Chains A and B, each alone.
Chain A
Amino acid sequence: MRRRQPPLLAGVALAGVALCASACGGSSSGGAGAAGSGAGGDHLTIWSQWLKGQPGQQFLQAAVDDFQKQTGIKVTVQWKGNAVVKSLLPALNSPDVPTDVVETSASQIQNVLYPAGGMLDLTSAYQQQVPGTGQTVAQVVGPAATSLATPTDAAGQTTGGPVVVPYWASATGVVFYNGQNFPALESAAPKDWDAFFSILDAQKAKNRRPLAQDGSVTSYNAVFYNDFLASILGPDALNKAETDKTGQTWKQPGYLQAAQLVERLAKGGYFTDGYDASKFPAMENKWANNDADFNVNGSWLPSEVGPVAAPGFDYRSFAFPAVAGHSAPPLNVTVSGIGVLKSSKHQAAAEKFAAFLLQRGYQEQVATEMQNIPIAKDVPAPPAVQAVKQAIDAGQVNTVRSPASLADYNAKIYFGLDDKLIFGKLSAAQFIDSMSSDSADYWKSKG
């Protein structure tokens, strides 16, 4: 009975079809982009990070409606949510990419879609006039945000023009407090950590654990070491140590000093009880109910804890203070906005829409309707994060990013050891030793 061989053969044949299909898709995805004329009759498709009912969606929908009325360009928006990039990536292999525009964070676009060859260089879009402002897109967005919208390689060098026209920003490393409890801080935020420590010590003296920290979120934990180090040695110090294949950079004194500050917080009883053994968002919810005084978090915190917070909670914030004797760490900012697909046949219309969102009226709505930080320089942010907005406007923005190529390192080496440091399981010296030796091992294993 020899003729029963077909299953294997059929399998191989089918696999061949699939292989060819995807390989062909991969190579042809870049080619389709003939720029549209941008005139009426265009039909623009946008995939958005917002979902129906969110403030961001309501803002964007209103802007889209106005845009259609004023330009005659028809716009269809798919509200995809945070998973927008995840669901777009496989579609880049298609000769018929299902959208012209992806509206999401610049880092997602740069880390995932740009390396896959999907994004259009928007240098020319930055030269457009923004209607009613007398400024170009480049001027409204400003150099810092432009830099954050521009892809860089593993060494931090730009690899082309910007691929996103951002219309709003968020920041991490922001210290939040209840304005009702600390009215004096609004006009006089602590100038450095010495001043902040004395505020914290005063609270501790009242038998409080002043700092709320959701230790289950590793990236929130890393903010402390990142910013201490950025203040002491500058914002590129972390990348420098992480990419050192020998691990020796970690032994330089500034790295230990930053670790000692984290150790002081961990062992000094500043963090809320159970910060190392609870599940997000337990600790920030405690803070929102005045069980703790400060929470180092992101600019989205007020809307996140809003439904849970004590009535009348007055959200106020200041940027992560400097280490005494050093300058303040620049703010870690993420910008979000419009990216255009290389394959789009309506690129001119897409760029026009990107500039459209930068008009003053819409930028004001970003603050008032979306409760987020507008990208345009002179437009005020919501009161809770106005202090952050001022720092951004003053150019105190960290333009050194952790390159996508270090994400694996961070997940496997840095975040794990940093967690142990902030939970008090490692001393500062042990942390440095482990970072140094584990880094060397990691790079050796990568060959």
Chain B
Amino acid sequence: MTKIKRHRGWGHLVTVPVAWAIVAANVLMIVWIVLSSLKSTREMALHPWSWPKHFIWSNYRTAWVSAQFGAGVGNSLLLIVGSGLACILLAAPAAYALSRFRVRSSGVHTALFVLGLGIPAQTMFIPLYVAFDRVGLVDSVWGLMLIYTGAGIPYALFLLTAFFRSLPVELEEAAALDGAGPGYTFWRIMLPLARSGLITIFVLQAIGHWGETFFALVMLHTKTTLSLSLYNFTQTMQYTGSRYSVLFAGLVILIAPLLVLYIVLGRRIIEGISAGYSK
């Protein structure tokens, strides 16, 4: 960080508290979600903003066992790790070639990929189901993983082309002078340099797919994911009663891994974002 003392206007006295108020609101929201998960549903409905009278830790057991949040955790982990890695392995070479090989059709190819950012899920699930059904990928975590991978490619490619473009060209030329082929240059030199960008993509995809319910609902029959269990739980409250506190325990279970991921990898993500977005 810069050490120069900058000129501060009196405006700072007004605006800095505003910034901190926004930060405080976000912290309070997380605290509120956690506290709500420890109340009884009645207490939560009648006194949503009070401190819990008793901490009801059993809400977590109820969420984990009877609302089946536990059953989906393994699948969710497999899905985000698998689809995240697959997406990067596919998109990174493509993004590299599109941004660095200077092939005439690069622009068209890139545009084709990026157009995928606009495809809405509700219009593509039926043909996907039919096609996957033919090849036995319905009710399969692998099939869902393939969808998440394919759906993630436009975003990953969009950011990674910008990222690779920002890397200095001299490295490749030096490698070429040493006799390295494009494959070697990519896997051994460029990919490691792009590490923070790759981690960023991985984490952003993980955040997106961790909470995905629509494709999971349609493609899985006997299996479940964490977010699908949560979705089902909210859908059933009409007949079993609005057990909001158990719902919030489930939400904490859903959010906590993301929060940990973000805190552990936070610095890297931010590095990746800054490099990735500013080409």
| Chain A interfacial positions (CB closer than 8 Å to B) | 1, 4, 7, 17-19, 21-22, 25, 50-56, 78, 80-83, 86-87, 90-91, 93-94, 96, 98, 281, 285, 289, 300, 303-309
Contacts and interface: CB of A to CB of B under 8 A. Distances in A.
B139 A98 contact: yes
A93 B241 contact: no
A81 B104 contact: no
A81 B240 contact: no
B50 interface: no
A86 to B, nearest CB: 7
A406 B237 CA distance: 28
A273 B241 CA distance: 24
B45 A285 contact: yes
Contacts of A285: 45-46
Contacts of B45: 285, 308
A51 B233 CA distance: 8
A83 B42 contact: no
A54 B236 contact: yes
Question: Which 10 A/B pairs are nearest by Cβ-Cβ distance?
Answer: A90-B129, A53-B66, A81-B232, A82-B235, A307-B41, A22-B130, A94-B133, A4-B105, A308-B45, A307-B241
Contact of A56 (B46, B129, B239): B239
Nearest to A289: B46
A112 to B, nearest CB: 13
29 contacts: A1-B105, A17-B131, A18-B131, A21-B127, A21-B134, A22-B131, A25-B130, A52-B66, A52-B68, A53-B66, A53-B68, A78-B222, A81-B235, A83-B232, A83-B235, A86-B217, A87-B218, A93-B133, A94-B133, A96-B133, A285-B45, A300-B239, A303-B241, A304-B238, A304-B239, A307-B41, A307-B242, A308-B46, A308-B241
A83 B224 CA distance: 13
B141 to A, nearest CB: 16
Contact of B127 (A18, A54, A56, A78): A18
Contacts of B103: 4
A87 B215 CA distance: 9
Most buried by A among B41, B129, B131, B231: B129
B130 A93 contact: yes
Contacts of A306: 241
Given A25-B130, A52-B68, A93-B133, A307 B243 contact: yes
A90 B125 contact: yes
A96 B135 CA distance: 12
Contacts of A80: 232
B3 to A, nearest CB: 50
B130 A18 contact: yes
Contacts of A1: 104-105
Contacts of A300: 238-239
B255 interface: no
B242 A83 contact: no
Given A52-B68, A304-B239, A305-B241, 14 more contacts: A18-B131, A21-B131, A22-B127, A25-B133, A50-B236, A78-B222, A81-B232, A91-B138, A98-B221, A285-B46, A300-B238, A304-B237, A306-B241, A307-B242
Interface string B218-231: 10011000000001
A22 B237 contact: no
A87 B41 contact: no
Most buried by B among A21, A281, A306, A308: A308
B150 to A, nearest CB: 12
B69 to A, nearest CB: 11
Contacts of A94: 129-130, 133, 138
B144 to A, nearest CB: 13
Given A51-B68, A93-B126, A305 B242 contact: yes
Contacts of A55: 239-240
Interface in B30-48: 40-42, 45-46
B122 to A, nearest CB: 11
B130 A54 contact: no
A53 B250 CA distance: 15
Most buried by A among B68, B239, B241: B239
Contacts of B243: 307
B241 A7 contact: no
B236 A81 contact: yes
Nearest to B103: A4
A212 to B, nearest CB: 14
A99 B216 CA distance: 18
Given A82-B235, A304-B237, A53 B67 contact: yes
Contacts of A78: 221-222
Nearest to A56: B239
Contact of B242 (A4, A54, A308): A308
B41 A54 contact: no
A78 B134 CA distance: 22
A56 B130 CA distance: 32
A281 B41 CA distance: 13
B266 to A, nearest CB: 34
B180 interface: no
A78 B222 CA distance: 6
Most buried by B among A7, A300, A303, A307: A307
A300 B231 CA distance: 20
B239 A54 contact: yes
Interface in B85-141: 103-105, 108-109, 112, 125-127, 129-131, 133-134, 138-139
A300 B238 CA distance: 7
A45 to B, nearest CB: 10
A174 to B, nearest CB: 15
A101 B26 CA distance: 47
A83 B217 contact: yes
A228 B40 CA distance: 39
A52 B70 CA distance: 13
Most buried by A among B103, B221, B237: B221
B129 to A, nearest CB: 4
A75 to B, nearest CB: 14
A34 B232 CA distance: 33
Contacts of B127: 18-19, 21-22
Most buried by B among A19, A81, A300, A304: A81
